[in-house]
Structure 1
Amino acid sequence: MSESILFRASAIGARVRAAAPSVGLVFALLFATVCVPIFAVKVAPLNDYINHLARMHVMAVGGSDRFLSAFYAVDWQLLPNLAMDLVVPRLARVFDIYTSGQIFVALTMFMLASGPMAISWALNRRFEPWPLVAFLILYNQVFLVGLMNYLMGAGFAMWGLAAWIVLRERSILLRMAVSGAVVALTFLCHLCAVGLYGLAIGSYELWLWYRRGLKVDRRLALDFAALAVPALPIVPLLLASATWGLAAEYEWSAQGKLDSITMIFRAYSDPIDIAVLAVCAAALAWAVRRSLISFHPAAAVFAVVSCAVFLALPTVLFGSYMADQRLPVAMLLTLIGFGSIRLGQPAVARAFVFLVLAISTIRVGDVTAQWLHLAKAHDEFRAVVQGLDRGQKFIVAYADEPQLSQREQDAISHLASTAVIERSALVSTEFTVPGKQILRVRSPYEDRVDTEDGTPPNISQLIAATMVEGAATGHYWDRWQEKHDFVLVLFTERGRANPDPDLLSLVHDGNGFQLYEILR
């Protein structure tokens, strides 16, 4: 009898060992697939990405560039928004700034894809194929906005949950130390990532407490200490940081709640997104009807608690937009980690792998095609500014009547930041907001840039500001014609007439933009 049990156990172990490389191989193939768009273009056409990358460049070159060092200063502070700032400039010592940015984006993708796999392994102690479905939603609207620091933090939060589960029965001091390290990492990435980690481990502990019959005893006190003590430094750190000065900037929006659900599954093409969603829903319904999919009981607690927090979160928190809208994607990725699928029959296993690979390839193909198209404006503008003198000063304005689609506007909204990288320029829209970034504009130039994360003026506003002698509106674009060298008009169409030929000379009529030199 004992020999029979040992034989069956060894056979099961052999199957697990045989399955692990298969899951790993599919994971590697899927990861290589989702990285195709990242390395297919020099600059990922994400909304804020090139602006952040320009800051990385300023940090990487340090004082070796006399123009950048005259315009900008790095004011190191412990802000909950430093993931790129700590990683990319160091990568730039080995690679160029564009490649360094691509590596960081790929690392972010890896953290998001591997996080659910880590949670699944922690719960089951084996590599399950189910977490591979995380690849289906890696390209979502939150990612396409370019919230890299938060998404990197979300990956650390999921790995932190996996570590918490694995160490659950180990020494409380070890649990505190590891949890403290995760809190520190997520804090450096983004404040919302700290919240996600707290939600995840708090929900898991709540489920364990429920399973223990809601007993109030010494074990509960120790578990609460392990949960709370590592998070205590967050309070003084936040109070001491410049981010606390943005505490009054918050806004709650019901519309944002509805939009955030669709943001999980949307990429660029609605027909493709809808078709993919329909196929996934049909496959999920088929699997549920046959009881192939199951979830760990703690998943229900996490879903309820995180949904309650999501509904309560404001859309703007500490001056950061999309505070609530960025949460559902991370919630779903975490919930995927709690799941498991039973693929007993080889045909079912092959169908599952084929479906995940096929859908991922379709979505990646759509993103790649869109990025190759959207990146043309970046390539064109980069070629244009390379012919200009270094150390020029750019002011950004929007067209009075934007002629581009919303996704085209999002892709080039920070196009001017390319000039910071290529020609050591001062750009009016470069992120230099106290409490959000560590980049500052030096005092001789600080009145020429937006330090409040506002919306650039329309070109008609710029022209109107020159009509009255000595007019001052209190905006950074007052007397712009004296303080800048070039005007970059975004979201316009080719052939649009010069708004003021006496003041502006057209340098380049581009794909969605026009660059004018200011005539003295």
Structure 2
Amino acid sequence: MIDYVNHLARMHLLVDAAAGRANPAYEIHWRLYPNLAVDIIVPVFARFVGVETAARLFLLGSQILVACGAIALEMQVRGRHQLSGFVALIALYSLPFLWGLMNFEFGCGVALWGIVAWIYFREGPWLLRIALHASVVVVLFSAHLFALGIYGLTIVCYEGSRITSYRHAVRTLAVLALPVLAGCLVVLWSGDTLSNPGFSWSFGLKLMWPLFVMNCYSLPLSIGLALIIAVLLGYLGYSRVFGLTRPAVFIGSGFLVVYLLMPARILGGAYTDVRLITAMMLVLPAFLTVNWPSRAVKTVAALVAVGIILANVMSVASVWYSYRSDYADMIKSFALLRAGSTILIARGDVDEGQANAPMFYAPTLAVHYANAFVPSLYTISGQQPVKKSASKSLLEIGDALDYRPTPIAQLNSASAGGTVPAHVRGWRTDYDYLYIVGDQTGSIPEHLTFMMRSRRFALYAIDK
């Protein structure tokens, strides 16, 4: 999981600071950021089971919330479970979750249960509905802003399909909007804003995401699974298994419109549009009608769904297992570092796809194991409660995409006086060590002293 390790390193910093072992290169800076689920929950459990186990439990709990929340939503809407559990397990290792977007995954689980509560108490007293909705908004606002958007989009579309009068519409909109507006005012009052929100939109990529979304480790597998799902949906459509309810039409149309309009980058987050595909997989099945024409059709659908789930699970297990030795070597390499040193992460110039992406942020763990400074540790203004100290402010990263390892070509360009991100410009003097992950066959910069090589990374001391 690409981002998981970066989050894990930040959890170590939070726990170390609470225990009086603060890293002087970073400051703890708490505010009501809309991206705090893992930062709030993991350090609490880490007091009893350690950081690594607490992070694993958080991931497991998020997956349980997502799968059970999808099932609960279908049971609330249609009174029985037929479809949503299978689809949720298919989506569980989809690209946004497999990237290690931990707060988003947790937030999706909470959003699903929040939608269940909204529908269950829809005819209940208004004060109770407002209190429950406000509670869900507070949790989601603190957990992940995009998950709050999914919750709101689903409820707005659902209520839109059931509006009976103008007064009803205004009252429902007021109930939905007031807690969100209050949260926005609190964030503005806190004084922290995103340093570089970023904004981009690509229609061509939107056409490709449905093929790329199933697995971020293997593009052929992702495309293969997506095509199998498309064939299965065609077969079930031909067999007249699914029916569209009015809420399903509104929710599906709402998600589609937002997906087409959503930028790929917004509010400092990347790949925001693809997250809507996973969210729709979790929400929409609950609102479909399912009528199996025969046991044979039902059996075929179940076998194909289970096959897709197992293919993804085996792929992920294989990748994760193959990286265990690499992470062990990475931990060993930290013993070679001078305490309090500064570390830059680079990558080879050869495009290897996602082959080495799980190692991109592994060196950030040095902030704990070697009390080091690594600029690639997530310290995005308005998103994380960990900030770079004033002494490291010149190495702040302006664009969120530049948190990824710096291509070796940029290092060579910086040495020649070329235009590069600010935190790389003086890399020969600003950093003590260089980790290069991935391809090692390119033009390695000069004035480096080799220290250690593993299968997927190499460590160098930077000559001063």
Compute the displacement of 1:466 (Å).
5.9
Which residue of 1 is the match for residue 270 of structure 2?
Answer: 321
C-alpha distance in 2 between matches for 1:357 and 1:164: 31
C-alpha distance in 1 between matches for 2:63 and 2:54: 14
- 2:25 corresponds to which of 71, 89, 95: 71
C-alpha distance in 2 between matches for 1:238 and 1:247: 16
- 1:431 corresponds to which of 375, 378, 382: 378
Q: Deviations over 1:308-333 (max 9, x none)?
A: 12222222211221222221210221
Compute the displacement of 1:454 (Å).
5.0
SS of match in other structure, 1:299:
helix
Compute the displacement of 1:417 (Å).
0.8
C-alpha change, 1:406 and 1:286, in structure 2 (3 Å) is closer
Which residue of 2 is the match for residue 166 of structure 1?
Answer: 120
Which residue of 2 is the match for residue 116 of structure 1?
Answer: 70
- 1:53 corresponds to which of 8, 11, 22: 8
Compute the displacement of 1:180 (Å).
0.8
The yes-or-no answer on 1:444 pairing with 2:391 is yes
C-alpha change, 1:350 and 1:243, in structure 2 (3 Å) is farther
C-alpha change, 1:301 and 1:407, in structure 2 (3 Å) is same
Maintained 8 Å contact 1:398/1:491: yes
SS of match in other structure, 1:93:
helix
Maintained 8 Å contact 1:310/1:327: yes
Alignment of 1:252-401 (within 5 A): 252-342=201-291, 352-399=301-348, 401=349
C-alpha change, 1:240 and 1:263, in structure 2 (3 Å) is farther
C-alpha change, 1:442 and 1:228, in structure 2 (3 Å) is closer
- 1:131 corresponds to which of 85, 99, 106: 85
Where does structure 2 lack aligned partners over 5 or more consecutive residues?
Answer: none
C-alpha change, 1:324 and 1:243, in structure 2 (3 Å) is farther
SS of match in other structure, 1:505:
strand
Paired amino acid for 2:166: V
* Bigger shift: residues 146-155 or 282-291: 282-291
Maintained 8 Å contact 1:260/1:326: no
C-alpha change, 1:221 and 1:444, in structure 2 (3 Å) is closer
Compute the displacement of 1:81 (Å).
0.8
- 1:154 corresponds to which of 108, 120, 127: 108
Compute the displacement of 1:296 (Å).
3.4
C-alpha change, 1:457 and 1:226, in structure 2 (3 Å) is closer
Which residue of 2 is the match for residue 489 of structure 1?
Answer: 436
SS of match in other structure, 1:169:
coil
C-alpha distance in 2 between matches for 1:251 and 1:241: 27
Could you tell me the TM-score, scaled by structure 2's length? 0.89
C-alpha distance in 2 between matches for 1:274 and 1:69: 44
Compute the displacement of 1:433 (Å).
2.1
Compute the displacement of 1:286 (Å).
3.5
SS of match in other structure, 1:514:
strand
Where does structure 1 lack aligned partners over 5 or more consecutive residues?
Answer: 1-45
Alignment of 1:10-29 (within 5 A): none
SS of match in other structure, 1:265:
coil
SS of match in other structure, 2:366:
helix
Q: Deviations over 1:169-190 (max 9, x none)?
A: 0001111111111111111122
Which residue of 1 is the match for residue 445 of structure 2?
Answer: 499
C-alpha distance in 2 between matches for 1:448 and 1:224: 44
- 1:216 corresponds to which of 163, 166, 180: 166
C-alpha distance in 2 between matches for 1:478 and 1:279: 47
Alignment of 1:226-245 (within 5 A): 226-241=175-190, 244-245=193-194
Could you tell me the TM-score, scaled by structure 1's length? 0.80
Query: What is the percent sequence identity of the aligned residues?
Result: 27
C-alpha distance in 1 between matches for 2:357 and 2:46: 26
Q: Deviations over 1:180-238 (max 9, x none)?
A: 111111111222212111111111111111xx3xx334x44433333333333133134
C-alpha change, 1:320 and 1:281, in structure 2 (3 Å) is closer
Maintained 8 Å contact 1:157/1:196: yes
Alignment of 1:181-192 (within 5 A): 181-192=135-146
C-alpha distance in 2 between matches for 1:248 and 1:365: 37
Paired amino acid for 1:203: C
Maintained 8 Å contact 2:23/2:371: no
Compute the displacement of 1:462 (Å).
4.0
Paired amino acid for 2:11: M
